[in-house]
């Protein structure tokens, strides 16, 4: 059974479109995250939710909007896609309440290509 899953695995779309990436974890964790990995492999956190509440919101364009319908799901919606949004997006989860030190378990990633 996959612990942290993301759909889709690949996403190719045109500039200006709106798209969503879904994430689900079956680990019973309380906290979920979105990371962006750029073409140079640099990983940077975007958002974090603890029990459906936003706790980390990095400097990310407001075209990116996370939504957590329940603590097992954290979706990422992106409006008006731009070329610079092309990257691999990783979802992750950790057990406790978002305090430092919890191991984060990552999904397989979604490779987004904006043409």
Partner 1 sequence: AQKVTQAQTEISVVEKEDVTLDCVYETRDTTYYLFWYKQPPSGELVFLIRRNSFDEQNEISGRYSWNFQKSTSSFNFTITASQVVDSAVYFCALTEVNFNKFYFGSGTKLNVKP
Chain residues in the site for partner 1 (CB under 8 A): 31, 33, 35, 40-45, 48, 55-56, 88, 90, 92, 94, 98-109, 111
Alpha-carbon distance of 16 to 107, in angstroms, equals 26
Shortest distance (Å) from residue 107 CB to partner 1: 8
Smaller CB separation from partner 1, 64 or 90: 90
In 24-112, alpha helices (H): none
Smaller CB separation from partner 1, 48 or 75: 48
Shortest distance (Å) from residue 65 CB to partner 1: 19
Shortest distance (Å) from residue 13 CB to partner 1: 19
Smaller CB separation from partner 1, 79 or 95: 95
Please provide residue 33's backbone torsions phi and psi, each rounded to the nearest 5 degrees. -140, 155
Q: Are 110 and 89 in contact (CB under 8 A)?
A: yes
Alpha-carbon distance of 44 to 67, in angstroms, equals 19
Total residues found in the chain within this entry = 115
């Amino acid at each position: 059974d996959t612990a942290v899953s993301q759909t889709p695995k690949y996403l190719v779309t045109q500039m200006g479109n709106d798209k969503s990436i879904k994430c689900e974890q079956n680990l019973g964790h309380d906290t979920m995250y979105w990371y962006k990995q750029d073409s140079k492999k640099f990983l940077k956190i975007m958002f974090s939710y603890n029990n459906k509440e936003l706790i980390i919101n990095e400097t990310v364009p407001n075209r990116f909007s996370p939504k957590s319908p329940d603590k097992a799901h954290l979706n990422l919606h992106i409006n008006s896609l731009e070329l610079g949004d092309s990257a691999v997006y990783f979802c992750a989860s950790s057990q406790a309440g978002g305090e430092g030190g919890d191991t984060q378990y990552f999904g397989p990633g979604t490779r987004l290509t904006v043409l």
